[in-house]
Chains A and B, each alone.
Chain A
Amino acid sequence: MAVISVATRYKTTVKEPGVPGVLKMNEERFVFVPNDPRSLMKLNVEFKNIKGHKFSKDGSKQALLNLTQDPEKGTGYIFEFDNFTDRNSCRDFVGRVLGKLQSVPGRPNEQSVPEKSAGAPLPEQLSAVEMERRIKLLREDSELLRLHKQFVLSGVLTESEFWATRKTLLGEDTTRMTKQRPGFKSAMLADVRPADGRTNKVTFSLTPEIIQQIFAEKPAVHRAFLNLVPSKMSEKDFWTKYCRAEYLNRTRNAVVAGAEAAEDEELAVFLKHDDILANEARRKIRRVDPTLDMEADEGDDYIHLPDHGILRDAQKDTAETETEVSRRTLSQDLNRHAAVVLEGRALDVELGDTRTVAEALAWSKQELLSKEKSEENVNLEKQEKVARMTDLEDLQAPRNPQYASLCIKDPREYFDSQQANALRALGGTEFGTNSLDLNLSKEEVYRHLKEQISEAKSRGLRNPIIRPDTALKVFSGLSQHLSSTRFQLGKNSQESALDRIPHRTKDDLMHHWTSIQELLRHFWSSYPITTAGLYNKVQRVKDAMGQIYQKLQEIKESSQSDFRHQVSLLVQPMLQALDAAFAHYDLEQQKRTAKSGAKPNGFVR
């Protein structure tokens, strides 16, 4: 027998400091002995009484293990450990023990058919997470709780069966963890704030968010960062230079910018054209699908070529500069920013160290590049596509259709030939109540009709056409019929039959309906019965259904006379469903008893 003994602290609530002591666990029970022999907090609990265990997350402030007795209320024995490894080993031990204990013993055979070997249900390995989820679901949905109480705690369904149909509910939690990642802000970088007039200082604020965005938008800066920091200059210097370059860009002083660029080569990096961007743009243009745009060429590369547009800060200076200082136009900035935002955030790295962020970004870009197809492949694809699109369908030979074309024959030849069949088949089936004497031949019948007509002619129209009392009867009958339908359907079209019956009856009926749904679901899913476990389940479910049937009958009979009709209308489909289930059960029973002994294993058709 495995035994664990650990030094721990026992508490009844999480907030208490706890009583220090030693916890010894073996396969049957656990014993807690406090260090202080005078304390009364001794525990000796069998694992049979423990229903589950909960534990706090690794890495949280306290390493807790909670052995729960009642899954719904959550009370139990809480132990705090000094470190997580101890707690985890205890937790695994407890999990194993509980798993073994909670396995349901196989039910005894009730019928003569022997059990299949796989018939005994497997013990359920419930993790604490699973338990928590279930408890949470039960707490949130009172209807589910009621169903659970009604069926599982009374033994009609086992836990596993109950939750088997609700996997989607339980699975919801996991999907919630994969949330959408937030992307970049669509507001453009506005990291430069002009001087506030009084002091001659310009302040820049660079948060890790902004830094990540800068790296994504300006690959040249990214490359410079990777190359220069920390080998040539510190991060702070790098950013100072960058901000200076930005500032110079903002001021409309091209000459100063040029001069400074000439002096300081690192600064020049920031002031030049972003050649990485240029390369990317060129490459993309080469890959443009010719079926979309045959004329795409370098002239369309407006992303980095500075030939038109207003410059940032609404300047329209188009003077040529001798130096390579780039002047980005507003449209270029906007386009680049938009492209980056739409691409999304490539990383999930937490924004801590700038260096790690930069490296991660570089690495992800490299990955992307390696995944791209080579130039030849791209060209091949393009050519294929061009060939397909420039197909001239008129000039090609007709292709045989892969399907047989629809051909509807002349209906006359079908219907006329069937007439003989029809006349033969017309065995007077629908002619029940009208006592037609088929022995009358046609002549007699026609003669009779003609007699009638001549009688009508000779008599002429009657006066009065109809007797007044008959007319009155007809009128009152019609009006009653009309008003009764109106009464039944209700004056308000939105009102349903359910709203008009008293609340308690309505609640009862709704409750029975959900119970019936649950039971029927389990009932029908157990057919065809292949194992003894299913057979037992069907028995249990059927008994429960019988009880509900009784209750429904009682409701129907005990409802007030005003509502009796509606109640019976509402109850009718439920009773029908239950009747169908019972009929099926009886049928299967008959078949089983007729065939018992013929099939060695429990397989029933």
Chain B
Amino acid sequence: MASAPSKLYQDDVSLVVALLDTNPFFWAAASLPFSEFLHHVIPFINSLLLLNQLNRVVLIATGTSSCGYIFDSGDGNASGNSNAVCSGIIKKLEDFVGKDSKIGKGSNGDGTRPAISSLLSGSLSLALCYIQRIFRSGTRHPQPRILCLQGSPDGPEQYVAVMNSIFSAQRLMIPIDSCIVGAQHSAFLQQASYITGGVYLKPQQLDGLFQFLAAAFATDLHSRNFLRLPKPAGVDFRASCFCHKKTIDMGYVCSVCLSIFCKYHKKCSTCGSEFNQVAPDSTIPDQKH
């Protein structure tokens, strides 16, 4: 029989990888200022660390052109002092935002339209890679989950990458929780939470954000078996087409590689297969290949 401590270890130790949205375009116009947001999130992270001595939290910032690790509680130099944690996080954030702005400036230039969405696919991939490293570190590891604190809208050009990350998370059995601090729902994150079995929540009162986080997102995976957590009423399953990146709900699907198009194409642009059928009558809208 396994000894008691190791049994405890397996049950409710959790590793939370939190993805913070640091898109300045969003935060410039958000109803909740970014400093307030930090005032809710950092205590939440501290409280996660308080729940279990073996819990681990990793913070990843999602910028507009890059993503980076902000905080890792499993570091050797992590002290128990919450102030130290707080200041460490903020300092790292500053550095990250500086770097992000520099990168953004370099590639786009001043004349082009600025990016409005944040790089969700990048940070999801970073999170999954980190978790994979944890998995390979040994048999005794905490149960990982991903928490997305997202405010910016979905970028349809990231659809494929985000879906790939979601499917990888599903394969690895990592739930993706989403907390939407922005104005509109995010279809990607709704699908992510639905597919991976996580919690999706859009708090009505942003000044009570800490309470929302503590009530719905702080529970470890073992306890979720017997706790009731909020579920969204419906999931927006729309995809975006591969040719124009528009969100569509009726379209054409290539029968070979399953890429989605909004208009009839003679040839699939992903896999090159030719569609030899006669072009359909334009009055019939939903003919699928």
Residues on A lying within 8 angstroms of B by beta carbon are 406-409, 411, 414-415, 418-419, 421-423, 425-426, 428-438, 440-446, 448-450, 452-457, 459-462, 465-467, 470-471, 473-475, 477-478, 481-482, 485-486
Q: Is the beta-carbon distance between A422 and B182 smaller than 8 angstroms?
A: no
The closest CB in chain A to the CB of B98 belongs to: A450
Contacts A423-B112, A465-B40, A481-B230 given: A449-B97 contact, CB under 8 Å?
Answer: yes
Q: Is the beta-carbon distance between A474 and B208 smaller than 8 angstroms?
A: yes
Q: Is the beta-carbon distance between B43 and A461 smaller than 8 angstroms?
A: yes
Q: Given A418, A448, A450, A470, which contacts B211 in the complex, CB threshold below 8 Å?
A: A470
Shortest distance from the beta carbon of A424 to any chain B beta carbon, whole Å: 9
Q: State A462–B82 Cα separation when bound (angstroms).
A: 12
Cβ contacts under 8 Å, B52 to chain A: none
Q: Is the beta-carbon distance between A436 and B104 smaller than 8 angstroms?
A: no
The closest CB in chain B to the CB of A432 belongs to: B184
The closest CB in chain B to the CB of A469 belongs to: B208
Shortest distance from the beta carbon of A587 to any chain B beta carbon, whole Å: 12
Q: Is the beta-carbon distance between B28 and A445 smaller than 8 angstroms?
A: yes
Most buried by B among A428, A443, A446, A482: A446
Is the C-beta of B193 less than 8 angstroms from some C-beta in chain A? no
Q: Is the beta-carbon distance between A471 and B208 smaller than 8 angstroms?
A: yes
Q: State A477–B207 Cα separation when bound (angstroms).
A: 14
Q: State A421–B241 Cα separation when bound (angstroms).
A: 12
Cβ contacts under 8 Å, A481 to chain B: 230
Shortest distance from the beta carbon of A439 to any chain B beta carbon, whole Å: 11
**Given A426-B156, A440-B25, 9 extra CB contacts under 8 A:** A430-B247, A431-B153, A436-B25, A437-B29, A449-B97, A452-B27, A453-B93, A457-B90, A465-B210
Q: State A376–B50 Cα separation when bound (angstroms).
A: 89
Cβ contacts under 8 Å, A415 to chain B: 160
Q: State A543–B114 Cα separation when bound (angstroms).
A: 57
Q: Is the beta-carbon distance between A475 and B215 smaller than 8 angstroms?
A: yes
Contact residues, B89-127 vs A (CB, 8 A): 90-91, 93-94, 97-98, 100-101, 104-105, 108, 110, 112-116
Is the C-beta of B132 less than 8 angstroms from some C-beta in chain A? no
Q: Is the beta-carbon distance between A456 and B245 smaller than 8 angstroms?
A: no
Shortest distance from the beta carbon of B159 to any chain A beta carbon, whole Å: 10
Q: Given A421, A457, A470, which contacts B244 in the complex, CB threshold below 8 Å?
A: A421
Cβ contacts under 8 Å, B272 to chain A: 407-409
Is the C-beta of B33 less than 8 angstroms from some C-beta in chain A? yes
Shortest distance from the beta carbon of B50 to any chain A beta carbon, whole Å: 13
Contact residues, B51-73 vs A (CB, 8 A): none
Q: Is the beta-carbon distance between A461 and B83 smaller than 8 angstroms?
A: yes
Is the C-beta of B172 less than 8 angstroms from some C-beta in chain A? no
Q: Is the beta-carbon distance between A406 and B230 smaller than 8 angstroms?
A: no
The closest CB in chain B to the CB of A477 belongs to: B204
Q: Is the beta-carbon distance between A426 and B34 smaller than 8 angstroms?
A: no
The closest CB in chain A to the CB of B101 belongs to: A446
Q: State A461–B22 Cα separation when bound (angstroms).
A: 19
Q: Is the beta-carbon distance between A461 and B90 smaller than 8 angstroms?
A: no
Q: Is the beta-carbon distance between B87 and A457 smaller than 8 angstroms?
A: yes
Q: Is the beta-carbon distance between A466 and B29 smaller than 8 angstroms?
A: no
Contact residues, B239-287 vs A (CB, 8 A): 242-247, 256-257, 269-273
Q: Given B29, B38, B155, which contacts A456 in the complex, CB threshold below 8 Å?
A: B38
Q: Is the beta-carbon distance between B26 and A434 smaller than 8 angstroms?
A: yes
Residues on B lying within 8 angstroms of A by beta carbon are 22, 24-30, 33-35, 38-40, 42-43, 82-83, 86-87, 90-91, 93-94, 97-98, 100-101, 104-105, 108, 110, 112-116, 153-157, 160, 182-184, 203-205, 207-208, 210-212, 215-216, 228-231, 242-247, 256-257, 269-273
The closest CB in chain B to the CB of A489 belongs to: B231
* Complex A-B: 25 CB contacts under 8 Å: A406-B271, A409-B272, A423-B157, A425-B244, A426-B156, A431-B153, A435-B29, A442-B108, A446-B100, A446-B101, A448-B28, A452-B38, A453-B93, A459-B39, A466-B40, A466-B208, A466-B210, A466-B211, A470-B205, A470-B211, A473-B205, A473-B208, A478-B215, A482-B228, A486-B228
Q: Is the beta-carbon distance between A440 and B28 smaller than 8 angstroms?
A: yes
By secondary structure, the A interface counts as helix
Q: State A3–B204 Cα separation when bound (angstroms).
A: 89
Q: State A207–B85 Cα separation when bound (angstroms).
A: 100
Q: Given A435, A456, A477, which contacts B34 in the complex, CB threshold below 8 Å?
A: A456
Q: Is the beta-carbon distance between B39 and A441 smaller than 8 angstroms?
A: no
Most buried by B among A436, A444, A475, A486: A436
Q: Is the beta-carbon distance between A430 and B154 smaller than 8 angstroms?
A: yes
Q: State A261–B114 Cα separation when bound (angstroms).
A: 112
Contacts A422-B156, A455-B35 given: A478-B183 contact, CB under 8 Å?
Answer: no
Q: Is the beta-carbon distance between A460 and B97 smaller than 8 angstroms?
A: no
Q: State A478–B202 Cα separation when bound (angstroms).
A: 11
Q: Is the beta-carbon distance between B246 and A425 smaller than 8 angstroms?
A: yes
Q: Given B34, B108, B247, which contacts A453 in the complex, CB threshold below 8 Å?
A: B34
Q: State A407–B272 Cα separation when bound (angstroms).
A: 7
Q: State A459–B116 Cα separation when bound (angstroms).
A: 29
Q: State A429–B110 Cα separation when bound (angstroms).
A: 22
Shortest distance from the beta carbon of A452 to any chain B beta carbon, whole Å: 4
Q: Is the beta-carbon distance between A470 and B93 smaller than 8 angstroms?
A: no
Q: Is the beta-carbon distance between A441 and B28 smaller than 8 angstroms?
A: no
Q: Is the beta-carbon distance between B184 and A433 smaller than 8 angstroms?
A: yes
Give the 4 A-B residue pairs with the shortest CB-CB distance, closest first: A452-B34, A474-B208, A422-B157, A456-B35
Q: State A459–B90 Cα separation when bound (angstroms).
A: 12
The closest CB in chain B to the CB of A425 belongs to: B244
Shortest distance from the beta carbon of A97 to any chain B beta carbon, whole Å: 49
Cβ contacts under 8 Å, A471 to chain B: 208, 210-211
Q: State A498–B27 Cα separation when bound (angstroms).
A: 47
Q: Is the beta-carbon distance between A431 and B216 smaller than 8 angstroms?
A: no
Contacts A430-B153, A450-B97, A465-B39 given: A441-B27 contact, CB under 8 Å?
Answer: no
The closest CB in chain B to the CB of A433 belongs to: B183
Q: Is the beta-carbon distance between A436 and B116 smaller than 8 angstroms?
A: yes
Contacts A431-B153, A470-B207 given: A452-B245 contact, CB under 8 Å?
Answer: no
Cβ contacts under 8 Å, B216 to chain A: 478
Q: State A443–B210 Cα separation when bound (angstroms).
A: 30
Shortest distance from the beta carbon of B96 to any chain A beta carbon, whole Å: 10
Cβ contacts under 8 Å, A432 to chain B: 184
Q: Is the beta-carbon distance between A453 and B205 smaller than 8 angstroms?
A: no
Shortest distance from the beta carbon of B278 to any chain A beta carbon, whole Å: 20
Q: Given A418, A442, A450, A477, which contacts B104 in the complex, CB threshold below 8 Å?
A: A442
Q: Is the beta-carbon distance between A441 and B110 smaller than 8 angstroms?
A: yes
Cβ contacts under 8 Å, B100 to chain A: 446
The closest CB in chain B to the CB of A605 belongs to: B283
Q: Is the beta-carbon distance between A453 and B211 smaller than 8 angstroms?
A: no
Q: Is the beta-carbon distance between A442 and B110 smaller than 8 angstroms?
A: yes
